[in-house]
Amino acid sequence: MTKLGASIAEESTDQDLGSLTKQDLGSILAPVRKEMDLVEKFLQTNLVDDSPFVADLLTQIFQAGGKRIRPGLVLLSAKATSAEEVGSLQIILSVLTELIHTASLVHDDVIDQAGLRRGKETVNRKWNDKLAVLVGDLLFAQASICLARLMNPAIVGIYGQVLGDLCAGELVQMRQKYITTVNWDNYVHKSVCKTASLFAAGCKSAAILNHKDDQIVQAMHDYGLNLGICFQIVDDLLDVTATEVQLGKPAGSDLAQGVITAPALFVLERQNDKAKRLEQLIAKREVSTEEGISEALSIIKSEGGVESTIALAQSYAQKCHQSLELLPASDYRQSLSMLVDFMCTRTG
Ligand code: FPP
Ligand code: MG
């Protein structure tokens, strides 16, 4: 057993933060490995484009890696809610979920002026912003074609909502930069829009394609939603605790850009001297300097921001496990459960 705090945040304190088995994503996805290979092949070779330059660019984007959590989640949800073999519609659903995720990251890197993603140069850095916007658009277009192939208006509506949520989440984040007022509803809402909406859509739609009843569809939605929130909270935590090598992108960049997430919010709401100092560093934009960000991160760590954030992630993880209780026991349900623990113990 590994200590949750120790694995999430290698620089965190020695406090006992509870324990979970550290999960390996490869083993979790093993029950759907065959189907994951089909998704991978689709992503790397089946995205039709007449221009060899664009086709090559798309291949490079998908060969750059990524954990493929979302397609795995769709396939596991499909198998956990039906004894049938995974059909082509579930594969397409899985592909389109990854296409939307990848497209949103290509656009996000333009917005954030990021140069590194998954340890590789971003499209905007390697080429330029205009090209990156168009490539992101192209990926969204490919996802729309996949969506049409599902011939399911309910799922078209669900994914339409996801696209709106992704944009809304980015807009909220942009407008809340450097604002130190603690508002947890806003934080959770932003996390739902940026991340959890797509997770929920994938899990729920897999159950819809299996013609499951409303109770199971709702349980899969709730599982995906809470897993997505948990994922985003841990992402926000890793920005404070992980290294650039672990993340494949620069660490500490959220706060440096004025994006205030859970680890900082927990400290800010304490309203003690350290909290006031953190507030000052943010308000005066000193977090954008090397000394400022270093002081801010050190306050967050010494004032318990890491431990409180882990506890918050765990509370959402707990809700995921409750939703899974409605599903019949199977290796696939077991993997969905292990995925929850993976979310809480991942280091990158
Ligand atoms: C990563 O956030 C970004 C997202 C989860 C979503 C970004 C969404 C958009 C840019 C809008 C997409 C556009 C359409 C048309 C739907 P982050 O910056 O916190 O994470 P990072 O550190 O991995 O970049
Ligand atoms: Mg970003």
Q: What is the pLDDT of residue 10?
A: 40
Distance (Å) from CA 319 to ligand 2 centroid: 27
Strand partners, 5: none
Is the per-residue pLDDT at 8 higher than 80?
no
Distance (Å) from CA 167 to ligand 1 centroid: 8
- Provide the whole-model pTM: 0.93
Is the per-residue pLDDT at 12 higher than 50?
no
Q: What is the pLDDT of residue 22?
A: 63
Out of 111, 158, 170, mutate this one to test ligand 1's pocket (max ligand atoms within 8 Å of CB): namely 170
Out of 194, 195, 249, mutate this one to test ligand 1's pocket (max ligand atoms within 8 Å of CB): namely 194
Go through the chain and tell me how many residues it has. Answer: 348
Q: Which residues contact 143 (CB under 8 A, 6 or more apart)?
A: 96, 99, 100, 103, 159
Distance (Å) from CA 108 to ligand 1 centroid: 4
Ligand 1 atom, smallest distance to 195 CA: 5
Q: What is the pLDDT of residue 142?
A: 93
Q: What would the pLDDT profile of 135-194 be if each residue is shown by its tens digit?
A: 999 999 999 999 999 999 999 999 999 999 999 999 999 999 999 999 999 999 999 999
Q: What would the pLDDT profile of 292-335 be if each residue is shown by its tens digit?
A: 999 999 999 999 999 999 999 999 999 999 999 999 999 999 99
Mean pLDDT, the chain, whole residue set: 91
Ligand 1 atom, smallest distance to 137 CA: 15
The number of helix segments (H) and strand segments (E) in the chain equals 19, 4
Listed as own residue / partner, the contacts of 316-322 with beta carbons closer than 8 Å and 24 or more positions apart are: 316/226, 316/227, 316/229, 316/230, 316/233, 317/226, 317/227, 317/230, 317/341, 317/343, 317/344, 319/222, 319/226, 320/223, 320/226, 320/227, 320/230
Among residues 17, 12, 249, the alpha carbon closest in space to that of 121 is found at 249
Q: What is the pLDDT of residue 9?
A: 40
Q: Which ligand is nearest to the CA of 253?
A: 1
Ligand 1 atom, smallest distance to 114 CA: 24
- List ligand 1's pocket residues with C-beta within 6 A: 104, 107-108, 111-112, 140, 163, 166-167, 170, 194-195, 249
